[in-house]
Amino acid sequence: MRKTAYTLVLIGVLGSVLGLAACGKAAYRDGVYTGTSNPDDTGAYGEVSLTVADGKVSRCRFVTWQKDGTIKGEDYGKVNGEISNQDFYDKAQLAVRAMDQYAAQFAEVQDLKRVDAVSGATNSYNQFIEAVEQALEKAKD
């Protein structure tokens, strides 16, 4: 009887330990990992660079590239270097600002599900999620 009770207690303890381990956040190998999203319907894509230290993301950088290979930055939304449509330019720049926001928020919360999408920058958000998932896959232990 004593041996059976001991075995049941041991099984319970091991089950609890394994359950807690499964619920915890994944540990990642230290290093720098990159991920790239698939191109959207315009040919633009997102690229993320994650720095992992002590098993956690310590730095995240996200950029999106236009089909022609230029970064979506301060000129994104301009035509021939000029703002020809203010509404379009403002929306484009909203997406540019969202890139930094997504990266900073992910590095802070360490959980893609807790990164908030910015209204008007959904394409960038989807590209970010896809690129981070690819980079994290590379960083798994």
Residue of higher predicted confidence among 115 and 10: 115
Q: Where are the domains of the chain?
A: 27-139
pLDDT in tens, 59-98: 999 999 999 999 999 999 999 999 999 999 999 999 999 9
User: CB within 8 A of 24, min separation 6: which ones?
Assistant: none
**Mean pLDDT throughout 17-26?**
43
Asked if 122 contacts 36 with a C-beta cutoff of 8 angstroms, the reply is no
133 to 5, 77, 111, 126, 140: CA distances (angstroms): 44, 28, 11, 11, 11
Evaluate if residue 17 carries a pLDDT over 50: no
Which pLDDT tens digit goes with each residue over 102-133? 999 999 999 999 999 999 999 999 999 999 99
- Is a pLDDT exceeding 90 seen at residue 135? yes
What is the C-alpha to C-alpha distance for residues 90 and 98, in angstroms, rounded to an integer? 12
CB atoms near residue 115 (< 10 Å): 22
Supply the pTM of this predicted model.
0.79
CATH architecture designation of domain 27-139:
Alpha-Beta Complex (3.90)
CB 132, CB 48: distance < 8 Å? yes
**Predicted confidence band of residue 41 (pLDDT cuts 50, 70, 90):** very high
Q: Residue 25's pLDDT is what?
A: 55
Question: Could you give the CA distance from residue 108 to residue 12 in angstroms, rounded to a whole number?
Answer: 35
Q: What is the 3-state secondary structure (H, E, C) of 74-99?
A: CCCCCECCECCCHHHHHHHHHHHHHH
